[in-house]
Structures are given as structure tokens and as C-alpha cells.
Amino acid sequence: MSQKPLPKSHPRFSSLSQRHALEAGVKDGITHPTGLIAFGRGEAFDYLLHEKTHPFAQKAIAKAAQEIRKAKNFVISVNGNTSALCPREIVQLARASGGKLEVNLFYRSEERIKKIISALKKSGAKKVYGLKDDARVSGLASDRAKISSKGIGSADLVLVMLEDGDRTEALRKAGKKVIAVDLNPLSRTARKASITIVDNVVRAIPLLTAELKKKGAKSDAAYNNKKILRQAEKAIRKG
Ligand code: ATP
Ligand code: MG
């Protein structure tokens, strides 16, 4: 259904390109149709945030970079929306951080996992975990419990994007630190994560990569995720 290319001068260029990326993701079988609905919820929050990265997101990104540097086994969890929206940026983050990539899906099918892995490989990824699941996140009923022992199974730090609150909570209960990217500061994911970046993944992931590449980044011992979420909620209410 994609029509002629969007003019860059269009005031909604970024938002429309993201919609088209997801449309292509559904057509290619990497994004589940319900992913469009999840994206719509995010878009509404992004609109209220004026589609820009706020200082509270920058602070969370700086803290996330610090934790990634300290982590022993950092894993980036990838789903159908993120692999359609920003596959190259995700692979660049994996490279800059030395982290592993693992596909984890709510509507899990071998076919879709294979398609996502090949999309990530086309974007430059080498190894992607997730096809063979030989471990479980306990206390989680959905297929999102299925993980790889060499990936999320042995991770001490996991990055999740457009995630479910119950998996974030289960990962925390399993003793892992969780960084979440979620435009909704009220979601269970945002509230359960150790660090919540309230920003669009298409902006947040390249910023996190850039932060990791910075030399001599300073530490912020006073980081408080609840405060970050309050600031995000305030910005949204202000509109
Ligand atoms: P939770 O289970 O955490 O309460 P939810 O059920 O409200 O979340 P889901 O449909 O499970 O929401 O996941 C989608 C989440 O991802 C929403 O919170 C939405 O705001 C967010 N989201 C959607 N698109 C983006 C995006 N491009 N960047 C960042 N976050 C996004
Ligand atoms: Mg949910």
C-alpha cells in the first residue's frame, strides 16, 4: 500500500516514515499486526512530548550507558516493532556496547523469529539469539518466557523496548537489571524497570550508542528512576 516517497519537508515526516516502516514490517512478516496498535499508543505519547528527547530521557540514557559499561553480560531484547523501526540502530548499539542480540516475541513463531534474525543480519548483525530457547524466565505465562541460556538467561542487564510489564517484572525478580525504552511513563514496564528512557526508540537508541562512545562520561550516583518518571508525566500533562 506504500505510495510515492514522502517529501522530507512534510511536517509529519518522521512520524509517517515510522508508520511506513511498520507497514512494511507487517507485510514482510516481521511485525505482528497488533504491533501497529502498540505503536499507536506510543505515538500519542510522543505527540504530547513534541516528538523530541527531553532532559529526563537524556539523564536515563546517561545512566543506562553507565550500567552497560559495568555489565558482564548485556543483552538487547528485540521484537517485531523494533526490528522494523530501527534495525540498523539496534545493531550499531550492539556493536558499540559489546552486547548480545536476542529475539523475544509475545506472538512467537519460528517463522517470524527467523525473519527478524535475517532482517537484523541484513543490517549487519552477526550472532542473534532467540531461535533456540533452552531456558525460561520463571513466573511468566506467555511465550515471552522462552529465552536462550547464553543470551537473556545469563544476562545481568537487559534492554527492553515496547515491552510488557509482566516480563519486565519477571526479569527483575530473576535478579537482572532492566533498561526500558517506553514512551508511556505510566506503563507497568516503565514502573518496573531499573532505568526507564521515556522516549521514542528511533531517537533513544542512537543517543544511547553515542553516549557509549563518549569518553570520560561522569557518574551520577543520585539517579532516581521514580523522579525521572514523575518528570516525564509532568511534561506529558503540560502537553
Ligand atoms: P505494560 O504491559 O507495560 O503496561 P502496555 O500493555 O500499556 O504496557 P504494550 O502494548 O504492552 O503496552 O506495549 C507498548 C508500549 O510501548 C506502550 O507503553 C507504548 O507507549 C510504547 N511504545 C510504542 N511505540 C513506541 C516507540 N516507538 N518508542 C518507544 N515506546 C513505544
Ligand atoms: Mg502490555
Estimate the crossing angle of helix 55-70 against helix 201-213, to 10 degrees: 50
Q: Is residue 200 part of a domain?
A: yes
Q: Residue 171: CB within 6 Å of ligand 1? A: no
Q: Is residue 45 part of a domain?
A: no
What is the 163 CA–ligand 1 centroid distance (Å)? 6
Backbone torsion region of residue 13, taken as left when φ is above 0, otherwise alpha when ψ lies between -120 and 50, otherwise beta: alpha
Closest protein CA for atom 27 of ligand 1? 200
Q: Is residue 18 part of a domain?
A: no
Domain residues for the domain of 120 are 55-238
Q: pLDDT by residue (tens digit) across 48-88?
A: 999 999 999 999 999 999 999 999 999 999 999 999 999 99
Q: What is the mean pLDDT of the chain?
A: 95
Q: Is residue 88 part of a domain?
A: yes
Q: pLDDT by residue (tens digit) across 100-112?
A: 999 999 999 999 9
Q: Is residue 103 part of a domain?
A: yes
Closest protein CA for atom 16 of ligand 1? 162
Q: Residue 76: CB within 6 Å of ligand 1? A: no
What is the 161 CA–ligand 1 centroid distance (Å)? 8
Nearest atom in ligand 1 to the alpha carbon of residue 199 is 29
Distance CA 116, CA 103 (A): 7
Which CATH number fits the domain that encloses residue 160? 3.40.50.12640
pLDDT confidence band for 3 (50 / 70 / 90): low
Q: Residue 133: CB within 6 Å of ligand 1? A: no
Best substitution site from 15, 16, 34, 41 to test ligand 1's pocket, by max atoms within 8 Å of Cβ? 41
pLDDT confidence band for 11 (50 / 70 / 90): confident
CA dihedral 158, 59, 120, 42 (to 10 degrees): 100
Q: Residue 164: CB within 6 Å of ligand 1? A: yes
Q: Is residue 37 part of a domain?
A: no
Closest protein CA for atom 18 of ligand 1? 184
Among the bound ligands, the one closest to the CA of 36: 1
Q: Is residue 20 part of a domain?
A: no
The pLDDT, as a whole number, for residue 10 is 84
Give mean pLDDT, residues 24-33: 97
- Domains in the chain, number: 1
Q: Residue 201: CB within 6 Å of ligand 1? A: yes
Q: Is residue 61 part of a domain?
A: yes
Q: What is the 3-state secondary structure (H, E, C) of 112-149?
A: HHHHHHHHHHHCCCCCEECCCCCEECCCCCCHHHEECC
Q: Residue 89: CB within 6 Å of ligand 1? A: no
Q: Is residue 186 exposed (0-12), middle (13-18) or buried (19+ Cβ within 10 Å)?
A: middle
